[in-house]
């Protein structure tokens, strides 16, 4: 289980990572209704404010039940919501979880995913005691692959024809990161 998820506050040089709030619904909808942001996701773009509200409510319930951890990525200086990062598919026995990120298109290319990712990974390994973090992306998503590799993830495999969204079939590339290398400073 992921303990104390509702009380988490992680700060980096430019960012604050913390649970999403009901007031974030409009900003979340703007981010996740964007077809460029959602191009490689395994769900279609959001279409209504209810999608965002439901996501916030489900994230809070999952954190309360210690099943996942969803944090908003906020600019520290302004409080502006840039996106979200999350740990999910948590296995306590195997001490592993999957990681995911979503960032508003206008914030791409500024290093925010790397900064938020390092903070969440460090928290996952040092505080939560995870042994392994996994990520699954569309192999055509070069931006996500580059971000994962910059964080030290290694591509470990390919699941062919894993998803079908709106009639489009896509594969999944699997990436992994071990605590052993991260905690020893090699981040690989």
pLDDT tens for the chain, residues 1 to 188: 555 566 889 999 999 999 999 999 999 999 999 888 888 777 888 999 999 999 999 999 999 888 899 999 999 999 999 999 999 998 888 999 999 999 999 999 999 999 999 999 999 999 999 999 999 998 988 889 999 999 999 999 999 988 777 787 888 899 999 998 776 654 44
Rounded Cα–Cα distance for residues 187 and 172 (Å)? 23
Hey, what domains does the chain have and what are their CATH numbers? Answer: 5-183 (3.40.630.30)
Which uninterrupted H or E stretch holds 35? helix 35-38
Q: What is the pLDDT at residue 140? A: 86
Answering whether pTM is above 0.85, one says yes
Residue 70's SS3 state is strand
Q: How far apart are CA 44 and CA 33, in angstroms?
A: 8
Strand order through the sheet with 10-11 = 10-11, 15-19, 69-75, 81-91, 96-103, 132-137, 168-178, 154-165
């Amino acid at each position: 289980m992921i303990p104390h998820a509702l009380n988490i506050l992680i700060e980096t040089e430019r960012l604050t990572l913390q649970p999403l709030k009901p007031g974030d619904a409009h900003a979340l909808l703007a981010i996740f209704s964007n077809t460029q942001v959602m191009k490689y996701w395994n769900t279609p773009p959001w279409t209504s404010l209810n999608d965002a509200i439901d996501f916030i409510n489900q994230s809070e319930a999952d954190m309360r039940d210690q099943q996942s951890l969803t944090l908003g990525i906020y600019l520290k200086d302004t409080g502006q919501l840039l996106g979200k990062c999350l740990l999910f598919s948590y296995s306590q026995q195997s001490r592993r979880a999957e990681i995911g990120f979503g960032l508003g298109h206008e914030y791409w290319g500024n290093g925010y995913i790397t900064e938020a990712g390092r903070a969440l990974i460090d928290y996952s390994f040092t505080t939560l005691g995870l042994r392994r973090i996994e990520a699954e992306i569309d192999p055509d998503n070069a931006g996500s692959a580059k971000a994962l590799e910059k964080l030290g993830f290694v591509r470990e495999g390919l699941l062919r024809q894993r998803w079908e969204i709106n009639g489009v079939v896509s594969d999944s590339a699997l990436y992994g990161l071990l605590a052993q290398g991260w905690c020893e400073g090699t981040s690989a």
